[in-house]
Amino acid sequence: MTKNTTHISAEGRYERRRFLKLAGCGTLGIMTGGFWPKLNRFAAEVKTGSEFVPDIDIFLSARPDEVAIFPGVPTKVWQYHAKVENGDKARINKLPGSYLGPIIKVHQGEKIRILFKNNVPEETIVHWHGLHVPAIMDGHPRYVVPKDQAFLYEFEVKNRAGTYWYHPHPHGRTGPQVYRGMAGLFLVSDDQEQGLGLPDGEYDVPLVIQDRTFDSTNQLVYMSGHRMERMTGFLGDMIMVNGLPDFTLPVATCAYRLRLLNGSNSRIYKLAWNDGRPLIIIGTDGGLLEKPVYRKYVFLAPGERLELWADFNDHPVGYETSLTSLPFETGGMDAGRMSKNPRLPNGSDFPIFSIKVTRAIKNHLTLPAILSDIEPIQQNEADNFSHPRQFYLTMQHMQWSINGRVFQLEEVDGDEIVQLGSKEIWEFNNTGGGMMRMMNMPHPIHLHGKQFRVIERRGVMHEGYVDEGWKDTVLLMPGESVRFIVAFDDYSGMFLYHCHNLEHEDLGMMRNYFVRDTIESGQRI
Ligand code: C2O
Ligand code: CU
Ligand code: CU
């Protein structure tokens, strides 16, 4: 292992200015009046003098709240709330009765300003999962804001149309904060997508899948704190969809676009339709595929998204089916006997939500044969084509690690520095081996700031991956290796890569990578 540790702090000096002390400044009304010009000046400094003129201005906060999930006592949660300060109010959609944050809708090319205010009683920061934004806007844990303080985000939406999401990212506390309710969808549209005629409005359905455990007074139960439980990850015994238990989606006899997000801390789903029809997948993490793909079943790991085309035109009113999770093997450590949730271990068999055909309509959309433009992968364009960057997912001293290292807030090792403008192949190996075999577990690996293309998967024991299209999170079952290609074309600075099992992430199965925009002498690119 190289011991060439770099502490990056150069860009850190800008960050402090983005912490805005809002305590004492009173209501939001006062803030939007006297406060904005000052915020603009902070932003302008970062943008090297150019004024950022947002198309949409959002006030986002996180605070303790109560939601009536079950009859009786309401459930205490921590929840995101949002309000459009300036721009189209319809861009924010609250999910009724849910602890989840509102859905934020934007269009490619728009400039977004989000003032985030932290009203939960500990440090937090918002990360835009899957979005291609400058390092400073990415919600790195070193930008955490204390209670009653704020962070100003300003970025242009560069992503393709797709299903992205936002969630907290304070080091060591992401798992518990997401668990209490802090997560929301961030949907991007673009012109090409809008020209396709996909189901929209009520036929475009977000479905956030999570597992939770509640006590007898309807309160969320997280973990006992046992090391072993943290090492496998939290598993709840109740499946929630959009924050609701026993979820049923009433549908009409027509086509739907179902946007699935696995927002669970550590649970993996092996999705299949209960009535045996194939899953028709039209999109993944980074948006629409080139063309639809068909699968009998498909894995959805924490952090991953899948978009399904589901047409109910051949079913009568009264028809019922469900999306289920099929049983699967998860490897040594994650097996039911080791897990602290004997009632619903990872890899067990259960329904996720029901579908009920409730009305007939005559509006037939057909599945487009071509969904989007996706360039073929050019592996030999990679600067490290002959020596891909290697990452090993390992356990050391009862702690998950990447290449034997655990997260340090400002630390980047020599082999975690990439050159701006380069295109690279990264290879992740969940191969364990030897004594460690029993300790193997699935790990969904996520890269911040960039979407990548999966080139190759080895050691596969399962079918059911959708490696087509653009991805930001990729599941590695025990024994598997995955290679992907990623272009570091515009934003420099420090980003994260980590396991999206949130307990693994919180325990340090996360590292920084640094995109360098100068070539320093004596260092290998
Ligand atoms: Cu969902 Cu570090 O991200
Ligand atoms: Cu992310
Ligand atoms: Cu992991």
Instruction: List, for residues 288-311, the tens digit of each pLDDT value.
Output: 999 999 999 999 999 999 999 999
Residue ranges of E strands in 10-54: 19-21
Q: Using CA atoms, how far apart are residues 22 and 149, in angstroms rounded to an integer?
A: 6
Nearest CA among 7, 8, 16, 85 for reference residue 46: 16
Flag whether pLDDT at 524 surpasses 60: no
Ligand 1 pocket residue status of 127, Cβ below 6 Å: yes
pLDDT of 6 higher than 50: no
Identify the band that residue 363 occupies on the pLDDT scale cut at 50, 70 and 90: confident
Q: Whose CA is nearest to atom 3 of ligand 1?
A: 129
Query: What is the pLDDT at residue 127?
Result: 98
Three-state secondary structure call for residue 141:
helix
Query: How high does pLDDT run on average in the chain?
Result: 88
Whether residue 450 has its Cβ less than 6 Å from ligand 1 = no
- What pLDDT, on the 0 to 100 scale, is given for residue 336? 46
In this prediction, residue 476 carries a pLDDT of 96
**CB of 423 closer than 6 angstroms to any ligand 1 atom:** no
Q: Who wins on pLDDT, 432 or 162?
A: 162
Query: Ligand 1 pocket, 169 CB below 6 A?
Result: yes
* Ligand 1 in reach of 496 Cβ (< 6 A): yes
410: its two tokens: 């400002």
Looking at ligand 1, which atom is closest to the CA of residue 496?
2
Task: Identify the band that residue 397 occupies on the pLDDT scale cut at 50, 70 and 90.
Answer: confident
Burial category of 78 from C-beta neighbours within 10 Å (exposed 0-12, middle 13-18, buried 19 and up): buried
Residue 446's pLDDT band, with cuts at 50, 70 and 90, is: very high
Question: In 3D, which of 310, 209, 202 has the Cα closest to residue 261?
Answer: 209
**Does residue 486 register a pLDDT over 70?**
yes
- CB of 498 closer than 6 A to ligand 1? yes
**Distance, CA 509 to ligand 1 centroid (Å)?**
12
Measure 161 CA to ligand 2 centroid, in angstroms.
17
Kindly list the distances between the CA atom of residue 118 and the CA atoms of 134, 167, 170, 304, in Å, as whole numbers in the listed order: 21, 13, 12, 26
* Cα 200 to ligand 2 centroid, rounded to whole Å: 26
| Range from 75-79, 215-219, 326-330, 491-495 carrying the lowest mean pLDDT | 326-330
Q: Which of 44-53, 229-238, 394-403 has the lowest mean pLDDT?
A: 44-53
Residue 503: how many other CB atoms lie within 10 Å: 25
Cα 431 to ligand 3 centroid, rounded to whole Å: 13
Per the model's pLDDT, the better-predicted residue between 8 and 68 turns out to be 68
- pLDDT above 90 covers a percentage of the chain that reads 79
Rounded mean pLDDT of 416-436? 87
For range 471-498, the mean pLDDT: 97
Q: What confidence category does residue 1 fall into, taking pLDDT thresholds of 50, 70 and 90?
A: very low
CA–centroid distance, residue 141 to ligand 3 (Å): 18
Average pLDDT over residues 421-447: 85
d(CA 143, CA 280): 40
Closest ligand 1 atom, residue 448 Cα: 2
Kindly report which listed range (1-15, 16-30, 438-452) carries the lowest average pLDDT score: 16-30
Does residue 389's CB lie within 6 angstroms of at least one atom of ligand 1?
no
Q: What is the mean pLDDT of residues 502-523?
A: 86
Distance 129 CA to ligand 1 centre (A): 5
What is the mean pLDDT of the segment spanning 324-346? 73
Per-residue confidence (pLDDT) for residue 519, from 0 to 100: 62
Q: Tens of pLDDT along 235-271?
A: 999 999 999 999 999 999 999 999 999 999 999 999 9
- Residues 23-74 have pLDDT tens digits of 333 333 223 323 333 333 333 334 444 689 999 999 999 999 999 999 999 9
What DSSP character marks residue 74? P
**How far is it, in rounded angstroms, from Cα 311 to Cα 365?**
9
Which tokens hold the place of 119? Answer: 């009203």
Is 129 touching ligand 1 by the criterion CB < 6 Å? yes
The residue among 429, 462, 209 whose CA lies nearest residue 329 is 462
CA-wise closest residue to 15 among 55, 54, 43? 43
Position of tokens 């475009």?
204
Is the distance from CB of 92 to CB of 185 less than 8 angstroms? no
* Distance, CA of 275 to CA of 323 (rounded, Å): 9
Contact 170, 223 (CB under 8 A): no
Residue 511 Cβ contacting ligand 1 at under 6 Å: no
> Rounded to whole angstroms, what are the CA distances from 135 to 11, 127, 171, 392, 499?
9, 11, 16, 25, 19
| Mean per-residue pLDDT, 380-398 | 93
Indicate if the pLDDT at residue 433 is higher than 60. Answer: no
Supply the pLDDT for residue 188. 98
286, burial (CB in 10 Å: exposed 0-12, middle 13-18, buried 19+):
buried
Burial 29-63 (b: 16+ CB within 10 A, else e): eebeeebeeebbebbeebeeeeebebbbbbbbbbe
Q: Which amino acid is at 426?
A: W
Residue 437 has what pLDDT? 60
Beta strands in 225-286 (DSSP E): 238-241, 244-245, 248-252, 255-262, 269-273, 279-284
Does residue 107's CB lie within 6 angstroms of at least one atom of ligand 1?
no
Q: How confident is the model at residue 518 (pLDDT cuts 50, 70, 90)?
A: confident
Give the atom of ligand 1 at the shortest distance from the alpha carbon of 129: 1
Percentage of the chain lying above the pLDDT 70 cut: 86
Cβ contacts of residue 297 below 8 Å, gap of 6+?
270, 271, 272, 279, 326, 463, 464
- Residues 127-170: tens digit of each pLDDT: 999 999 999 999 999 999 999 999 999 999 999 999 999 999 99
User: Which residue CA neighbors atom 1 of ligand 1 most closely?
Assistant: 129
C-alpha 34 to ligand 2 mean position (Å): 34
Q: Are 138 and 36 in contact (CB under 8 A)?
A: no
Q: 143: CA distance to ligand 1 center in Å?
A: 14
When pLDDT is averaged across residues 468-491 and rounded to a whole number, the result is 96
pLDDT of 14 over the 60 cut: no
